[in-house]
Amino acid sequence: MPPRTGRRSAERLAVLHLTHEVAEWLAPNAESYACAEVLGSASGDLVAAAVRARDQAGSGRDECLLVLGGTLVEHRLLSLPPMPKADSRVVLQRKAAGLLNSDVRETLYAAVELARDGESDNGTEPRRWNLLAVRRSLLTPLAAGLARARIRSRRLVCGPMARLCDARAQLTDVTAPAIVIDVDLDSVAVSLIHGDRLRMHNRIPGAFHKTPTMALTLVQELRSFDAFCRKSSRGSPVACVVLMGLESERSRLLVGAIRSALGAAQVLAPAEGDSAADGASTLHRRAVLSACRAQGPFELNAPLPSPPHVATVGAVAGCALLLAATLGAVSHERLAREARRLRGARVELETRAVDLERLRDDNQRFDALLSSAVTEAERLARARGLGVPLEPALAAVLREVDGLTPLSSLSFERWDGEGGVSFAAECPRDPLSTLRSLKAVQSALESSALFENAWVEPPELLPGSSDERGASLEYRGGSEWEREP
């Protein structure tokens, strides 16, 4: 196997991998590895598990690359109609917020566009995206908690994309198409790369060793990827398959199945270690975490919010005290007046805090009222979601459809999230103008935040029919409601 390159500067950093179930810590240069269970769902539970894993590994460095996985990061493959980049960013952020069922301002996302076939792309084909989303309300307290535990997160790394960079570095011929199989704790990612481009990507949920049908599903996925590669590259098959994240015994069995399915493709699998050596059972996890340090054309990372260092805070506080002492020496009378005001405020506070029992009872009563109000608000929100969002839906249809072609009829139907909108409208008699109008209506509905799977049924005009004397034709169309994630 060729030596891995492209992450020399990152080898001095530890790797912290966090999921909703475990925290893994890999020391620099893979010197030690430890895993700790996450005992809750709050950010403090994640921090506590990270500290236990670091202490068990006995790492001497607390700077790390942070890799989030499991349900902490949501993944989705989606298609969007062609649109300008600025509009794509707005739609992708809205889709990411919908994926998390969160507000747009509380959503952080990253998206990679899958490469298109240059020969068949005529500018109207849908764009395919691999979308990743994470809650800002998770990252901010997580970064602060890690900082308090003296764990400094240098970057937030997208593990699957970083491992694609590592797999590309292993290829002997980067110009040939290759498939990367990335086995993680709770899913298997299959990617087709060709040079610096990501051609196809799919994520199969489920742990490899706990899902009996995973190997069969994976072989079928490889065959479909190979067929896509042959079709898009004029018959050229996949040249190489890179397998990552499996222990040696399962890796040997899967390599045999891959060779049977893809024939002459070269298979690069993890090197087998001594089963009696220390840490042999975690060798595959060490390799997966070490691959997260790789850098290349597929990497996605972002800086984390980091609070100021304790030394910096101490220096600022020292300077503030020195300035206060200097000002006190110059304006003693002003400070004396401030001291008298503070003493009066303290007396007032002590007087108001005499009846603590009454204050505690008031607080309990207010908490009960607040809980009742929250329950009623949630009930009303659920009831509101059963019907049709009439006002925004009507505004969207009038804007997207009636703004392009005059409406003849309109109907809405929705119950428990199912149903859709159907309409009839008039379009020009000219065939070219008709085609442009119908395409514009369908694209406008697809890009709307309320609808998906839009359809348009073009009008039929028989030669010599009486309809030819009219000024316009009637067509029908409709769309489904955007499904909640």
Q: For each of the chain's 485 residues, which pLDDT tens digit applies?
A: 344 444 445 667 889 999 999 999 998 877 789 999 999 888 899 999 999 999 998 876 678 889 998 888 888 888 888 888 888 888 988 988 888 888 888 888 888 888 876 555 566 778 888 888 888 888 889 888 988 888 888 888 888 888 889 999 998 888 889 999 999 988 999 999 988 888 888 889 888 888 888 889 999 999 999 888 888 877 778 889 999 988 888 888 888 888 888 887 899 888 766 555 556 678 889 989 998 888 888 887 665 655 544 445 455 555 555 555 555 555 667 777 888 888 878 777 766 666 666 777 778 888 888 888 888 887 776 656 556 677 888 888 888 787 778 888 888 887 666 788 888 888 887 778 888 888 888 888 888 888 888 888 888 765 554 445 456 788 888 888 887 65
Residue showing tokens 């709770």: 186
- Strand pairing class (197-205; 74-80): unpaired
Report d(CA 50, CA 242) in Å as an integer: 30
pLDDT of residue 242: 92
Listed in order, strand segments (DSSP E) in 40-119 are: 63-68, 74-80, 107-113
For residue 327, what are the contacts with CB-CB under 8 A and spacing of at least 6? 335
Helix (H, G, I), strand (E, B) or coil at 213: coil
In the sheet that holds 472-481, the strands lie side by side as 407-415, 418-428, 472-481, 451-457
Report d(CA 267, CA 126) in Å as an integer: 33
Report d(CA 190, CA 279) in Å as an integer: 27
**What's the one-letter identity of residue 221?**
E
Six token digits for residue 173: 């011929």
Report d(CA 215, CA 283) in Å as an integer: 21
Helix (H, G, I), strand (E, B) or coil at 402: helix
**What's the one-letter identity of residue 224?**
S
